[in-house]
Structure 1
Amino acid sequence: MTDAAQLTKLIEPEVTRLGFDLVRVSLSGTKYVSLQVMAEDPKTGQLTLDECATISRALSAMLDETDPIEDEYRLEVSSPGIDRPLTRAKDWTDWAGHEAKIALSEAIDGRKRFFGIVKGLDGDTALIEVDDAEIRLPLSLIQSAKLTLTDELIKASKPLSSEGADDIIEEKE
């Protein structure tokens, strides 16, 4: 099993059991394969380093037992970060008002790439505003979508901890 969708079905219950939400599973590389698992704490939308380690240990044990990937691979567990991918239907409502880059698998009105403001979700259709026009993008055609790093997004994404920030500022002064 080297399909991301099948791996997601295997990984998601384990991540959920640990109290986290799965954001994305991807398998990349041919010579050196990486299994990338992106998750978040539903309360914060982020993960701490300790939470990444907890997920990694649990997934490593489960993947060693089920052995779904034929070749050697490297497991990477991470938080989605500030400029997170939009992979789930709920992401389109959670991140409404922020800028995003979207790539489609098939063209709509001759375009496969869009850059605009996320406006929400209407059923199975993501809504974005591009040049003062609302564009409807079927979720089934979205190949990739990612928030764009802006000052507004930084303000909306509260850090889990500012511990040590005062020390860094004092060192620079």
Structure 2
Amino acid sequence: MKDIKNTLSEKAEEIAKEMNLEIFEINIKGSKRRKTIEIIIDDLKDFVSIETCANFSRKIEPWCEEQDFPFGSYDLIISSPGLDRPLRSKEDFIRFKGKLAKIITKNKVENRNSFTGYIKKIENDELIIEEKSSKKSLFKIEMDNISRANLEIDF
């Protein structure tokens, strides 16, 4: 399965590059009889539209059909990371500066492990976040203390 995923990743990366996109994640899951191939694409300059997903699908689907996947039938799903996308790198935090995010820390910061606030900046490998509820509280969270983070939908 690892070889299939590597081959699929190479082709997906090639198509993504042609379309000025990045591959966010590739998953192959399901039963022995039917698999789901999920390719999550990202646009570093904008959010991914349904049209972009459809165009990517039209480009990779013929290639997938030519492959002799050992699992036979499969469903192909092309999607975006979503509005509540995970934030996985320093670059993600820089890209989404000013956006609302939820941060879960490995170790407590000021007696807490969970923060919801606006990404202010990255400074010396620390994330500075302004708490949504008070807008006066700034928290500094070391990047390597972040267990997980994702954007939140701001209403």
Give the length in aligned residue pairs.
143
Distance 1:92 1:9, change over 3 A: farther
Q: Quote the offset at 1:127 in angstroms.
A: 1.5
- Per-residue deviation, residues 27-78 of structure 1 (Å, max 9, x unmatched): 16432543222224455332242x32221122223334455x6434321112
1:36 paired residue number: 38
State the Cα RMSD in Å: 3.7
Extract unaligned runs of 5+ from structure 1: 152-173
Q: Does 1:127 align with 2:127?
A: yes
Q: Quote the offset at 1:134 in angstroms.
A: 0.6
Extract unaligned runs of 5+ from structure 2: 132-136
| Structure with the largest fraction of strand | 2
Spell out the pairing of 1:1-150 with structure 2 (5 A cutoff). Answer: 1-2=1-2, 6=6, 7-17=8-18, 19-27=19-27, 29-31=29-31, 33-49=35-51, 51-66=52-67, 70-71=70-71, 72-102=73-103, 107-109=106-108, 114-121=115-122, 125=125, 127-129=127-129, 132-138=138-144, 142=147, 144-150=148-154
The TM-score normalised by the length of structure 1 is 0.59
Q: Quote the offset at 1:103 in angstroms.
A: 5.0
Contact conserved, 2:40 with 2:80, CA < 8 A, in 1? yes
Contact conserved, 1:102 with 1:114, CA < 8 A, in 2? yes
Distance 1:3 1:34, change over 3 A: farther
Question: How far apart, in 2, do the equivalents of 1:133 and 1:126 lie?
Answer: 9
